[in-house]
Amino acid sequence: MFLALDIGNTNVTWGVFDGDRLAAHGKVSTDAAQPPSHYADALRDLFAASDVDPSDLRGAMVASVVRGMSKTVREAVRRLTGRDPAEARADMDLIRVAAPHPERVGIDRLLSAAAAFAAGGGPVVVADLGTALTVDLVSGEGVFSGGAIAPGLRLCLEALHLKTSLLPRVDLSPPASVLGISTPDCIRSGVVYGAAGMVEGLVRRVAACAEGPARTALTGGDAVFLSPYLTLPHELDPHLVLRGLLLVHRRT
């Protein structure tokens, strides 16, 4: 069994693979102030709840977009499993990158792109809905060709509260209608339907840069939430980063 850990700005998402099957997965909030013991305890509890025995793990790999968190989580995994997890890097056998400095591209974007291409070839547009919203293109030859970055849904909600005087903090939940009545309803409508429109607009524009028709793959922590609001055809897999980690683990 293989343990994959995606260290994001909001959550540390983990998945245990039994062969190609994602046998168990979960998440714990990202907090850079917490020591390795915090994450070791959290993972131990999550593993127990999912009936995962750490002694069954035969490999582990982490990917991080949070400065300083990789060392903390890797130490947590060492304490829990006795294994030293590898860390995914852009210079591994992952995906070709059409950029002068591949190491400056978010490793989560590269992993999702590699997994989406491996799943069905290219061209493919990968829309990742996390703390940030990214829309990237992988060419028919499997080259990461670039993309766009915008604020994610929860970041938009938080910004409206923090950067205005009177707008309240609102949780991410389905809007009752596109026509909000109360201020919280209006905020939910604007953020959710606005994000759906932004994803669709960016996907169309990015896909227009491809040579030929492009598939669309939707992934990330808020992918399941936003998927019903999209009118464009798309493949839904919220765990492409974890699948990308499995892919690079096997190649290396």
Q: How far apart are CA 120 and CA 101, in angstroms?
A: 27
187 appears as a binding residue in the annotation: no
Structure tokens at 245: 């980690």
Is 72 annotated as belonging to a binding site?
no
Query: Does residue 7 have a known ligand-binding role?
Result: yes
Determine whether the annotation assigns residue 252 to a binding site.
no
- Tell me if 164 is assigned to a ligand binding site: no
Pairing of strands 2-7, 59-64: parallel
Is 131 annotated as contributing to ligand binding? yes
Q: Is 171 marked as a binding-site residue?
A: no
Is 237 annotated in a binding site? The answer is no
Consult the annotation and say whether 81 binds a ligand: no
Task: Determine if residue 183 is labeled as part of a ligand binding site.
Answer: yes
Q: What are phi and psi of 113, to 5 degrees?
A: -65, -45
Concerning whether 108 is annotated as a catalytic residue, the answer is: yes
Among candidate residues 108, 136, 222, 237, the one labeled active-site is 108
Q: Which residues contact 156 (CB under 8 A, 6 or more apart)?
A: 191, 194, 195
Residue 12 assigned as binding residue: yes
10 assigned binding-site residue: yes
Tokens of 78: 């060492």
216 is in an annotated binding site: no
**Pairing relationship of beta strands 2-7 and 143-151 according to DSSP bridges:** unpaired
Known binding site for substrate: residues?
106-109, 183
Known binding site for K(+): residues?
128
What are the residue numbers of the active site? 108
Known binding site: residues?
6-13, 106-109, 128, 131, 183
Known binding site for ATP: residues?
6-13, 131
